[in-house]
Structure 1
Amino acid sequence: MGKSKKNKKTTKQQTNYLPFLTIAVVIIAVAIVVLVPKGGLNETTAKNSNASNSQNNISGGNPATLNENGDVVIKEADITENGSFLEYKSKDGVTVGLLAVRASDGTVRTAFDTCQVCNGSPYAYFNQKGNQIQCQNCGNIYSLDMIEQERGGCNPIPIMADEKTVTDTEIIIPADLLEENADIFENWKKF
Protein backbone atom coordinates (compact mmCIF):
# COMPACT_ATOMS: atom_id res chain seq x y z
CA MET A 1 0.00 0.00 0.00
CA GLY A 2 2.87 2.37 0.70
CA LYS A 3 4.17 1.84 -2.82
CA SER A 4 0.88 2.85 -4.43
CA LYS A 5 0.81 6.19 -2.55
CA LYS A 6 4.35 6.89 -3.70
CA ASN A 7 3.40 6.38 -7.38
CA LYS A 8 0.46 8.74 -7.06
CA LYS A 9 2.65 11.38 -5.45
CA THR A 10 5.26 11.12 -8.24
CA THR A 11 2.55 11.48 -10.91
CA LYS A 12 1.10 14.48 -9.14
CA GLN A 13 4.48 16.22 -9.01
CA GLN A 14 5.02 15.75 -12.76
CA THR A 15 1.66 17.29 -13.70
CA ASN A 16 2.31 20.39 -11.53
CA TYR A 17 4.72 21.66 -14.20
CA LEU A 18 2.06 21.70 -16.91
CA PRO A 19 0.38 24.98 -15.78
CA PHE A 20 3.78 26.70 -15.59
CA LEU A 21 4.74 25.44 -19.04
CA THR A 22 1.39 26.60 -20.44
CA ILE A 23 1.82 30.07 -18.94
CA ALA A 24 5.36 30.31 -20.32
CA VAL A 25 4.19 29.39 -23.83
CA VAL A 26 1.38 31.97 -23.66
CA ILE A 27 3.79 34.70 -22.49
CA ILE A 28 6.20 33.91 -25.34
CA ALA A 29 3.36 33.93 -27.90
CA VAL A 30 2.05 37.27 -26.64
CA ALA A 31 5.57 38.75 -26.70
CA ILE A 32 6.01 37.66 -30.32
CA VAL A 33 2.67 39.15 -31.37
CA VAL A 34 3.38 42.45 -29.59
CA LEU A 35 7.05 42.85 -30.48
CA VAL A 36 7.04 41.63 -34.10
CA PRO A 37 4.85 43.91 -36.27
CA LYS A 38 2.71 42.36 -38.98
CA GLY A 39 3.64 43.05 -42.58
CA GLY A 40 6.57 45.25 -41.68
CA LEU A 41 9.21 45.90 -44.26
CA ASN A 42 12.60 44.47 -43.54
CA GLU A 43 15.63 46.68 -44.20
CA THR A 44 16.33 45.25 -47.66
CA THR A 45 12.71 45.58 -48.78
CA ALA A 46 12.49 49.17 -47.52
CA LYS A 47 15.57 50.19 -49.50
CA ASN A 48 14.21 48.68 -52.69
CA SER A 49 10.52 49.56 -52.30
CA ASN A 50 10.54 52.71 -54.43
CA ALA A 51 12.14 50.90 -57.36
CA SER A 52 9.59 48.10 -57.35
CA ASN A 53 6.33 49.85 -56.39
CA SER A 54 4.72 49.55 -59.80
CA GLN A 55 5.44 45.83 -59.91
CA ASN A 56 4.18 44.72 -56.50
CA ASN A 57 1.81 47.54 -55.47
CA ILE A 58 3.69 48.41 -52.29
CA SER A 59 2.77 51.84 -51.02
CA GLY A 60 5.87 53.85 -51.81
CA GLY A 61 4.47 57.32 -51.87
CA ASN A 62 5.25 59.76 -54.63
CA PRO A 63 5.46 63.44 -53.76
CA ALA A 64 2.09 65.13 -54.15
CA THR A 65 1.67 67.93 -56.70
CA LEU A 66 0.74 71.23 -55.06
CA ASN A 67 -0.97 74.33 -56.46
CA GLU A 68 -0.06 77.94 -55.58
CA ASN A 69 -2.09 77.67 -52.35
CA GLY A 70 -0.24 74.55 -51.20
CA ASP A 71 -3.26 72.31 -51.84
CA VAL A 72 -2.71 68.82 -53.27
CA VAL A 73 -3.83 68.55 -56.90
CA ILE A 74 -4.54 65.10 -58.36
CA LYS A 75 -5.20 64.80 -62.09
CA GLU A 76 -8.25 62.58 -62.51
CA ALA A 77 -6.94 61.15 -65.80
CA ASP A 78 -3.87 59.80 -63.96
CA ILE A 79 -5.91 57.73 -61.50
CA THR A 80 -6.51 54.08 -62.38
CA GLU A 81 -7.55 50.93 -60.53
CA ASN A 82 -3.91 50.75 -59.41
CA GLY A 83 -3.84 53.04 -56.40
CA SER A 84 -1.79 56.22 -56.42
CA PHE A 85 0.00 56.61 -53.11
CA LEU A 86 1.03 60.22 -52.55
CA GLU A 87 2.91 62.01 -49.80
CA TYR A 88 2.40 65.57 -48.57
CA LYS A 89 4.93 67.29 -46.26
CA SER A 90 3.19 69.29 -43.53
CA LYS A 91 4.50 72.61 -42.22
CA ASP A 92 5.91 70.71 -39.23
CA GLY A 93 7.73 68.26 -41.52
CA VAL A 94 5.32 65.36 -40.96
CA THR A 95 4.70 63.19 -44.02
CA VAL A 96 0.97 62.75 -44.65
CA GLY A 97 0.04 59.76 -46.80
CA LEU A 98 -2.77 59.96 -49.36
CA LEU A 99 -4.44 57.34 -51.52
CA ALA A 100 -6.39 57.90 -54.74
CA VAL A 101 -7.89 55.05 -56.77
CA ARG A 102 -10.51 54.53 -59.46
CA ALA A 103 -13.30 52.29 -58.17
CA SER A 104 -15.10 49.75 -60.34
CA ASP A 105 -17.92 52.26 -60.96
CA GLY A 106 -15.41 54.68 -62.53
CA THR A 107 -15.36 57.22 -59.70
CA VAL A 108 -12.13 58.38 -58.11
CA ARG A 109 -11.95 57.67 -54.39
CA THR A 110 -9.58 59.41 -51.99
CA ALA A 111 -8.45 58.67 -48.46
CA PHE A 112 -5.61 59.15 -46.05
CA ASP A 113 -3.16 56.25 -46.37
CA THR A 114 -3.54 55.09 -42.79
CA CYS A 115 -5.84 52.73 -40.95
CA GLN A 116 -8.42 54.47 -38.72
CA VAL A 117 -7.82 52.05 -35.87
CA CYS A 118 -4.06 51.48 -36.25
CA ASN A 119 -2.97 55.02 -37.16
CA GLY A 120 -0.52 55.38 -34.25
CA SER A 121 1.63 52.55 -35.59
CA PRO A 122 4.47 53.00 -38.10
CA TYR A 123 2.94 50.10 -40.05
CA ALA A 124 -0.54 51.65 -40.37
CA TYR A 125 -0.40 52.11 -44.14
CA PHE A 126 -1.91 50.17 -47.01
CA ASN A 127 -0.55 47.99 -49.80
CA GLN A 128 -2.71 47.12 -52.78
CA LYS A 129 -3.32 43.51 -53.76
CA GLY A 130 -5.53 43.30 -56.84
CA ASN A 131 -8.82 45.09 -56.16
CA GLN A 132 -8.18 45.24 -52.41
CA ILE A 133 -5.86 47.02 -50.03
CA GLN A 134 -4.40 45.65 -46.81
CA CYS A 135 -3.34 47.42 -43.64
CA GLN A 136 0.26 46.48 -42.93
CA ASN A 137 -0.31 46.70 -39.18
CA CYS A 138 -3.52 44.78 -38.46
CA GLY A 139 -3.74 42.85 -41.74
CA ASN A 140 -7.32 43.92 -42.45
CA ILE A 141 -8.21 43.59 -46.13
CA TYR A 142 -10.48 46.25 -47.59
CA SER A 143 -12.17 46.55 -50.99
CA LEU A 144 -11.12 49.46 -53.22
CA ASP A 145 -14.81 50.07 -53.91
CA MET A 146 -15.39 50.82 -50.22
CA ILE A 147 -12.75 53.57 -50.02
CA GLU A 148 -14.37 56.91 -49.14
CA GLN A 149 -17.70 55.19 -48.44
CA GLU A 150 -17.55 54.86 -44.66
CA ARG A 151 -15.80 56.09 -41.54
CA GLY A 152 -14.76 54.01 -38.57
CA GLY A 153 -13.17 50.60 -38.29
CA CYS A 154 -10.00 49.16 -39.80
CA ASN A 155 -10.10 51.00 -43.10
CA PRO A 156 -8.49 54.07 -44.68
CA ILE A 157 -9.68 57.42 -43.33
CA PRO A 158 -11.86 58.79 -46.14
CA ILE A 159 -11.52 62.23 -47.68
CA MET A 160 -15.19 62.87 -48.33
CA ALA A 161 -16.75 64.91 -51.15
CA ASP A 162 -17.40 67.92 -48.89
CA GLU A 163 -13.72 67.98 -47.82
CA LYS A 164 -12.28 68.39 -51.33
CA THR A 165 -12.99 70.06 -54.66
CA VAL A 166 -13.67 67.86 -57.67
CA THR A 167 -13.69 69.22 -61.22
CA ASP A 168 -13.89 67.42 -64.56
CA THR A 169 -10.09 67.14 -64.65
CA GLU A 170 -8.73 67.23 -61.12
CA ILE A 171 -9.28 66.67 -57.44
CA ILE A 172 -8.02 69.31 -55.03
CA ILE A 173 -7.41 68.39 -51.41
CA PRO A 174 -6.96 71.53 -49.27
CA ALA A 175 -3.73 72.03 -47.36
CA ASP A 176 -5.78 72.98 -44.27
CA LEU A 177 -7.34 69.49 -44.20
CA LEU A 178 -3.94 67.87 -44.56
CA GLU A 179 -2.41 70.04 -41.82
CA GLU A 180 -5.34 69.28 -39.48
CA ASN A 181 -4.72 65.54 -39.89
CA ALA A 182 -0.90 65.56 -39.84
CA ASP A 183 -0.77 64.52 -36.17
CA ILE A 184 -2.09 61.03 -36.96
CA PHE A 185 0.96 60.52 -39.20
CA GLU A 186 3.63 61.40 -36.63
CA ASN A 187 4.84 57.76 -36.37
CA TRP A 188 3.79 56.73 -39.88
CA LYS A 189 6.43 54.63 -41.67
CA LYS A 190 9.07 55.39 -39.03
CA PHE A 191 10.63 51.97 -38.69
Structure 2
Amino acid sequence: MANKKQIKKSEKQKVNPLMIGAVAVAAIAVSLVLFAPKGSKNSNAGSVNTTETIASANTAEAAASSKKAALNDDGDVVINVADITENATFYEYDFNGTTMGFFAVKASDGTIRTALNTCQVCNGSPYAYFEQQGDSFQCQNCGNQFSLDMIGQERGGCNPVPITEDDEKANDTKIVIPAKYFKDNAERFTNWKKF
Protein backbone atom coordinates (compact mmCIF):
# COMPACT_ATOMS: atom_id res chain seq x y z
CA MET A 1 0.00 0.00 0.00
CA ALA A 2 2.91 2.28 0.64
CA ASN A 3 3.99 1.76 -2.94
CA LYS A 4 0.63 3.00 -4.31
CA LYS A 5 0.81 6.19 -2.18
CA GLN A 6 4.37 6.82 -3.32
CA ILE A 7 3.38 6.37 -6.99
CA LYS A 8 0.41 8.76 -6.65
CA LYS A 9 2.60 11.31 -4.86
CA SER A 10 5.23 10.97 -7.60
CA GLU A 11 2.59 11.50 -10.35
CA LYS A 12 1.29 14.62 -8.56
CA GLN A 13 4.80 16.08 -8.46
CA LYS A 14 5.16 15.53 -12.23
CA VAL A 15 1.81 17.17 -12.96
CA ASN A 16 2.54 20.29 -10.93
CA PRO A 17 5.49 21.52 -13.08
CA LEU A 18 3.47 20.84 -16.25
CA MET A 19 0.48 22.65 -14.83
CA ILE A 20 2.61 25.60 -13.75
CA GLY A 21 4.18 25.78 -17.23
CA ALA A 22 0.77 25.70 -18.93
CA VAL A 23 -0.58 28.45 -16.67
CA ALA A 24 2.52 30.58 -17.32
CA VAL A 25 2.16 30.21 -21.10
CA ALA A 26 -1.54 31.08 -20.88
CA ALA A 27 -0.78 34.14 -18.72
CA ILE A 28 1.80 35.38 -21.23
CA ALA A 29 -0.61 34.87 -24.13
CA VAL A 30 -3.38 36.76 -22.34
CA SER A 31 -0.96 39.59 -21.48
CA LEU A 32 0.09 39.92 -25.11
CA VAL A 33 -3.50 40.09 -26.28
CA LEU A 34 -4.59 42.58 -23.62
CA PHE A 35 -1.61 44.90 -23.78
CA ALA A 36 -0.68 44.79 -27.48
CA PRO A 37 -1.37 48.05 -29.41
CA LYS A 38 -4.65 47.96 -31.29
CA GLY A 39 -4.81 48.51 -35.06
CA SER A 40 -1.09 48.76 -35.72
CA LYS A 41 0.24 46.94 -38.76
CA ASN A 42 3.86 48.04 -38.71
CA SER A 43 7.00 47.13 -36.84
CA ASN A 44 6.65 50.21 -34.62
CA ALA A 45 3.61 48.68 -32.94
CA GLY A 46 4.48 50.06 -29.52
CA SER A 47 5.25 53.61 -30.69
CA VAL A 48 2.82 56.50 -30.67
CA ASN A 49 1.68 57.58 -34.13
CA THR A 50 1.77 61.36 -33.77
CA THR A 51 0.20 61.95 -37.18
CA GLU A 52 -2.91 60.01 -36.16
CA THR A 53 -2.93 61.68 -32.75
CA ILE A 54 -2.69 65.18 -34.23
CA ALA A 55 -5.27 64.42 -36.90
CA SER A 56 -7.81 62.92 -34.55
CA ALA A 57 -7.40 65.75 -32.05
CA ASN A 58 -7.92 68.39 -34.72
CA THR A 59 -10.58 66.71 -36.85
CA ALA A 60 -13.56 68.11 -34.95
CA GLU A 61 -12.02 71.58 -34.88
CA ALA A 62 -11.23 71.49 -38.61
CA ALA A 63 -14.70 70.24 -39.51
CA ALA A 64 -16.32 72.91 -37.38
CA SER A 65 -14.25 75.66 -39.03
CA SER A 66 -14.99 74.59 -42.63
CA LYS A 67 -17.92 76.15 -44.36
CA LYS A 68 -19.87 75.24 -47.43
CA ALA A 69 -18.65 77.07 -50.54
CA ALA A 70 -20.94 79.74 -51.98
CA LEU A 71 -21.89 79.10 -55.61
CA ASN A 72 -23.11 81.34 -58.41
CA ASP A 73 -25.82 80.36 -60.91
CA ASP A 74 -23.27 78.48 -63.03
CA GLY A 75 -22.13 76.35 -60.07
CA ASP A 76 -18.80 78.17 -59.80
CA VAL A 77 -17.38 78.94 -56.35
CA VAL A 78 -17.52 82.59 -55.29
CA ILE A 79 -15.29 83.92 -52.51
CA ASN A 80 -15.77 87.44 -51.13
CA VAL A 81 -12.33 89.05 -50.90
CA ALA A 82 -13.40 91.16 -47.89
CA ASP A 83 -13.95 87.97 -45.85
CA ILE A 84 -10.36 86.72 -46.25
CA THR A 85 -7.72 87.42 -43.58
CA GLU A 86 -4.37 85.98 -42.44
CA ASN A 87 -6.41 83.25 -40.76
CA ALA A 88 -7.37 80.86 -43.53
CA THR A 89 -11.00 80.32 -44.38
CA PHE A 90 -11.59 76.64 -45.11
CA TYR A 91 -14.36 75.67 -47.51
CA GLU A 92 -15.97 72.44 -48.64
CA TYR A 93 -17.29 71.83 -52.14
CA ASP A 94 -19.37 68.82 -53.14
CA PHE A 95 -18.73 67.35 -56.58
CA ASN A 96 -21.04 64.43 -57.34
CA GLY A 97 -20.87 63.15 -53.77
CA THR A 98 -17.14 63.75 -53.32
CA THR A 99 -16.36 66.34 -50.65
CA MET A 100 -13.47 68.54 -51.71
CA GLY A 101 -11.68 70.99 -49.43
CA PHE A 102 -9.99 74.25 -50.32
CA PHE A 103 -8.99 77.40 -48.52
CA ALA A 104 -8.28 81.09 -49.04
CA VAL A 105 -5.83 83.14 -47.00
CA LYS A 106 -4.28 86.61 -47.15
CA ALA A 107 -0.48 86.47 -47.57
CA SER A 108 1.90 88.97 -45.96
CA ASP A 109 2.01 90.97 -49.23
CA GLY A 110 -1.78 91.45 -49.05
CA THR A 111 -2.62 89.10 -51.93
CA ILE A 112 -5.27 86.43 -51.56
CA ARG A 113 -3.95 82.89 -52.02
CA THR A 114 -6.17 79.91 -52.73
CA ALA A 115 -5.37 76.20 -52.72
CA LEU A 116 -7.01 72.82 -52.59
CA ASN A 117 -6.74 71.51 -49.05
CA THR A 118 -4.88 68.33 -49.90
CA CYS A 119 -1.19 67.53 -50.01
CA GLN A 120 0.18 66.89 -53.49
CA VAL A 121 2.32 64.00 -52.24
CA CYS A 122 0.05 62.46 -49.60
CA ASN A 123 -3.33 62.96 -51.31
CA GLY A 124 -4.23 59.26 -51.25
CA SER A 125 -4.43 59.38 -47.45
CA PRO A 126 -7.51 60.47 -45.49
CA TYR A 127 -5.12 62.64 -43.41
CA ALA A 128 -3.74 64.51 -46.45
CA TYR A 129 -5.12 67.89 -45.49
CA PHE A 130 -3.59 71.03 -44.02
CA GLU A 131 -4.27 72.96 -40.87
CA GLN A 132 -2.98 76.45 -40.25
CA GLN A 133 -0.49 76.95 -37.44
CA GLY A 134 0.42 80.62 -37.26
CA ASP A 135 2.00 81.66 -40.55
CA SER A 136 2.41 78.10 -41.83
CA PHE A 137 0.26 75.16 -42.82
CA GLN A 138 0.97 71.60 -41.69
CA CYS A 139 0.06 68.42 -43.56
CA GLN A 140 -1.81 66.19 -41.13
CA ASN A 141 -0.46 63.07 -42.84
CA CYS A 142 3.31 63.61 -43.05
CA GLY A 143 3.75 66.63 -40.77
CA ASN A 144 5.50 68.84 -43.35
CA GLN A 145 5.00 72.55 -42.82
CA PHE A 146 4.50 75.01 -45.62
CA SER A 147 4.79 78.81 -45.43
CA LEU A 148 1.59 80.84 -45.80
CA ASP A 149 3.35 83.07 -48.34
CA MET A 150 4.03 80.08 -50.60
CA ILE A 151 0.36 79.06 -50.86
CA GLY A 152 -0.65 79.04 -54.52
CA GLN A 153 2.95 79.51 -55.67
CA GLU A 154 4.41 76.00 -55.91
CA ARG A 155 3.33 72.85 -57.69
CA GLY A 156 4.62 69.45 -56.70
CA GLY A 157 6.06 68.42 -53.36
CA CYS A 158 4.33 68.22 -50.03
CA ASN A 159 2.24 71.36 -50.17
CA PRO A 160 -1.36 72.35 -50.87
CA VAL A 161 -2.44 72.06 -54.51
CA PRO A 162 -2.36 75.65 -55.80
CA ILE A 163 -5.33 77.32 -57.40
CA THR A 164 -3.40 79.72 -59.65
CA GLU A 165 -4.41 82.94 -61.39
CA ASP A 166 -4.94 80.82 -64.53
CA ASP A 167 -7.44 78.65 -62.63
CA GLU A 168 -9.56 81.45 -61.14
CA LYS A 169 -11.04 84.82 -62.07
CA ALA A 170 -10.46 87.57 -59.53
CA ASN A 171 -11.23 91.24 -59.08
CA ASP A 172 -11.17 93.59 -56.07
CA THR A 173 -14.33 92.15 -54.52
CA LYS A 174 -14.53 88.48 -55.43
CA ILE A 175 -12.69 85.41 -56.60
CA VAL A 176 -14.51 82.94 -58.85
CA ILE A 177 -13.22 79.38 -59.19
CA PRO A 178 -14.94 77.52 -62.04
CA ALA A 179 -16.79 74.28 -61.29
CA LYS A 180 -14.66 72.67 -64.02
CA TYR A 181 -11.56 73.19 -61.86
CA PHE A 182 -13.13 71.12 -59.08
CA LYS A 183 -14.32 68.49 -61.54
CA ASP A 184 -10.77 68.18 -62.91
CA ASN A 185 -9.35 67.71 -59.38
CA ALA A 186 -12.05 65.56 -57.76
CA GLU A 187 -9.89 62.42 -57.99
CA ARG A 188 -7.47 63.92 -55.44
CA PHE A 189 -10.23 63.73 -52.80
CA THR A 190 -11.32 60.11 -53.16
CA ASN A 191 -10.18 59.24 -49.60
CA TRP A 192 -10.05 62.77 -48.17
CA LYS A 193 -11.01 62.84 -44.48
CA LYS A 194 -12.58 59.36 -44.69
CA PHE A 195 -11.23 58.12 -41.37
Could you state the TM-score of these two structures normalised by the residue count of structure 2? 0.73
Secondary structure of 1:28's counterpart equals coil
The structural deviation recorded for 1:173 is 0.3
Q: Which has the larger radius of gyration?
A: 2
Q: 5+ unaligned residues in a row in structure 2: which ranges?
A: 1-41
Counterparts of 1:107 and 1:168 in 2: how far apart (Å)?
Answer: 11
Once the two structures are TM-superposed, the CA of residue 101 in structure 1 deviates from its matched residue by 0.2
Q: CA separation in 2, counterparts of 1:71 and 1:174? A: 5
Secondary structure class of the residue paired with 2:138:
strand
* 1:98 match: secondary structure: strand
Percent identity over the alignment is 55
**Residues 48 and 98 of structure 1: CA distance in aligned 2, closer, same or farther (over 3 Å):** closer
Paired with 2:187 and 2:132, the residues of 1 have a C-alpha distance of: 24
Name the counterpart of 2:81. Answer: 76
Task: Quote how far apart the aligned CAs of 1:46 are.
Answer: 4.0
Equivalent residue number for residue 12 of structure 2: none
Structure 1 residue ranges without an equivalent (≥5): 1-26, 52-59
The answer to whether the 8 A contact 2:62-2:131 is kept is no
C-alpha distance 164-81 of structure 1, shift in aligned 2 (>3 A): same
- Which AA in structure 1 matches 2:182? L
Q: CA RMSD in A?
A: 2.2
Report what 2:33 is aligned to. Answer: none
- Does residue 41 (structure 1) correspond to residue 82 (structure 2)? The answer is no
| 4+ aligned runs moved over 6 Å, structure 1 | none
Number of aligned residue pairs: 154
1:185 corresponding residue in structure 2: 189
**Structure-1-length-normalised TM-score:** 0.74
Do the aligned partners of residues 63 and 130 (structure 1) sit closer, same or farther apart at CA in structure 2, a change above 3 Å counting? same
Question: 1:22 aligns to what?
Answer: none
Quick one: structure 1 residues 98 and 162, their matched pair in 2 at CA, closer, same or farther if it must change by over 3 Å?
same
Structure 2 residue 70 is matched with structure 1 residue 65: yes
- The residue type paired with residue 187 of structure 1 is N
**Deviation at 1:28?**
2.5
Deviations 1:107-136 (A, max 9, x none): 000000000000010000011111111000
Contact 1:66 1:72 in 2 (8 A): yes
- In the other structure, the counterpart of 1:122 is 126
In structure 2, relative to structure 1, the CA distance for the partners of 1:94 and 1:166 (3 Å cut) is: same
Contact 1:39 1:137 in 2 (8 A): no
Q: Equivalents in 2 of 1:48, 1:82: separation in Å?
A: 14
- Give the 3-state SS of the residue equivalent to 2:166 in structure 1: helix
Structure 2 Cα separation of the partners of residues 187 and 159 of structure 1:
20
